[in-house]
Amino acid sequence: MAADLEKARKAKKPVSTTEEDALILCKELFGVEGSRARVLNSYDDHNFLVETSNGSKFTLKIHNGADSVNIPFLQAQNHMIDVLSAADIVVPRSVSTIVQVENARRVDTYITTTPVRFADGTQGQCAVRLLTFIDFPLMCERPPTLPLFRSLGAFMAKTDHVLLAADHPALHRQHLWDLRNLPLLRLFLPCVTDPARAALATKVLDLFEATAASVLPGLRQSVIHSDANDHNILVSPDGNHVAGIIDFGDSLHTALVCELAITTAYAVLDQPDVLSVAQCVIESYTEVLPLFREEQSLLHTLTASRLCQSVIMSAYSFSCNPTNTYLLVTSAPGWQALQTLFDMPPDTITRFNGFARLCE
């Protein structure tokens, strides 16, 4: 089911909306008079940055067709935003919709729909949301430093501590990017055309199934953001600390330790000293939110597993849409980091896991 949903997201990616259409949708659906719009990089959705004449900025999100039929999940994302904002964590805020317009349907206070054409050539209705745009630099736009990675770990722990109280029924869902579903990625291995890379991915899948698959369901479960990569992390204008987080499209209820592993996996991309970066993220996270020993023992395997997810799904997504080079953002450095992690000797893996502070 999770694999089928991932394929549906690719087939039902909205593609027909122009920048002029985006301005019209903002005005007619949300009462925002935009002066210009430009397309933003996105994975399965169609996103636009909309600016008004007075300098205000918004993100118009036209959700893919698969997620658009799951309105409760979009409402769950808004719920997470509300909970985090109330705890003074910097996140985009949802903008209220206005009255109905022709061919559009107001779903709730923050969600409406509009007709679109999908990537597979069919037509249908897609959910639309408007979010405030936080004009901070992305982490990928600032030089990576060890203090910044320490800030990232502490920020994600603070975020996860708040999300412990942010459960929502729609976040208990089947999602291919849930690390618990890693074995399903064997279906997509044929998209990895390099034999050496395919062999490496297979070894990581085998390792996960042997050491983590049966253990994860018994660990602490919580709502997590699940995609803390450097394109979703906001930093302060001076670049010294992490200031906020965006894009809740991969959020779900799963094993809490997966959040730290995912954050670490993206942090080590393109870094010459993988171990030092991992140490900064893991230590600072667990100073705020300590782990249990069973969670600690899986950190290395789960970090490698997320990298494995990323590179396999990049290969699959690119096979579906060879013109979208954004899909390959983490591919080359992802394979390199994955090889580095997999080649670590046992004593280094013990050190990697041992960076985590434990619950007393």
CA angle, 20 then 22 then 24, to 5°: 75
Provide DSSP, 204-215. HHHHHHHHTTTT
Please choose, from the candidates 285, 279, 274, 283, the residue with its C-alpha nearest in 3D space to the C-alpha of residue 242. Answer: 285
Question: pLDDT at position 2, please?
Answer: 62
pLDDT tens digits, residue range 99-131? Answer: 555 556 777 889 998 888 887 888 888 999 999
Contact 254, 262 (CB under 8 A): no
Question: pLDDT at position 135, please?
Answer: 94
Place of tokens 């054409």: 117
Considering only CA atoms, give the Rg of the chain.
Answer: 20
Residue 200 Cα distances to 206, 274, 275, 311, 350, angstroms: 10, 18, 20, 11, 21
| Residue 191, token pair as written in the block | 């998209």
Question: pLDDT at position 323, please?
Answer: 77
| Residue 40, token pair as written in the block | 């933003």
Spell 148-187 as b/e; 16+ CB within 10 A means b.
bbbbbbbbbbbbbebbeebbbebbebebbbbbbbbebbeb
Half-sphere exposure of 227 (CA within 13 A, CB side): 16
Q: Which residues of the chain have pLDDT under 70?
A: 1-5, 7-10, 99-104, 326-330
Question: pLDDT at position 315, please?
Answer: 92
Question: pLDDT at position 287, please?
Answer: 97
pLDDT tens digits, residue range 276-287? Answer: 999 999 999 999
Residues across the chain: 360
